[in-house]
Structure 1
């Protein structure tokens, strides 16, 4: 139940930021998305780690991704809220897709079929 609420809050933050709707909840939900999307992707990638260590590393990785995205956008004079949200979402999606492909390949190798 808490996971569903977290996913919906993050999705709402992304939608509010991308559409530009004025709402008092736009800033906190967008910040939640910007922190939790890469943290969730890192947590999936670090699957076999101790849960507390995984949470700490995923949180630090999420902050690093957010800082690197914002620094790169500022250095290239391309800063925008929508662009930052899209860049973080794209990074998180690519990381999750890579994990899914790696797991699927591992299962196929374990069954002996390629």
Structure 2
């Protein structure tokens, strides 16, 4: 018995290889992390705006609390990128709680406590930590380029 092979026309797309099919199956998982990061950023930003603008909403307290925890946590997590994931999460959450407590204690000590002031101070400290991390990374890249 003889089998007759048929040639596919040049207009037919080639069959995807096994690696391509595996990569396509993992594509939704890769797209989930940026989606979650964008959602978290949006929630934190809305919480900060609701608190700073003094808007009465049932979402104000949870979103503001999320902002107060997420902003320093993200900044410290970027600074600790060489740690294992579980250690980085625990250390950055601990650092976020420490930043919040230090801001609150400092504002109470100088008799300048206010909710908008506390949110602004936490945002400023988180931005400062993030800025220092980015400057350190850029400086490291410049030094590596000169050496290479």
Q: Smaller-chain TM-score range? A: over 0.9
Aligned twin of 2:5: none
Q: Does 1:74 align with 2:108?
A: yes
**CA drift at 1:75:** 1.2
**CA drift at 1:47:** 1.1
Q: Does 1:92 align with 2:126?
A: yes
**Whose RCO is larger (CA < 8 A, sep 6+)?**
1
* Structure index of larger Rg: 2
TM normalised by structure 1 equals 0.97
In the TM superposition, 1:18-29 aligns within 5 A as 18-29=52-63
Give 1 or 2: higher helix fraction: 1
Q: Does 1:55 align with 2:89?
A: yes
TM normalised by structure 2 equals 0.75
Q: Which runs of no fewer than 5 residues in structure 1 stay unpaired?
A: none
CA RMSD of aligned residues (A): 0.9
Regions of 4+ moved over 4 Å? none
Number of residue pairs the alignment of both structures matches: 113
Q: Which runs of no fewer than 5 residues in structure 2 stay unpaired?
A: 1-34
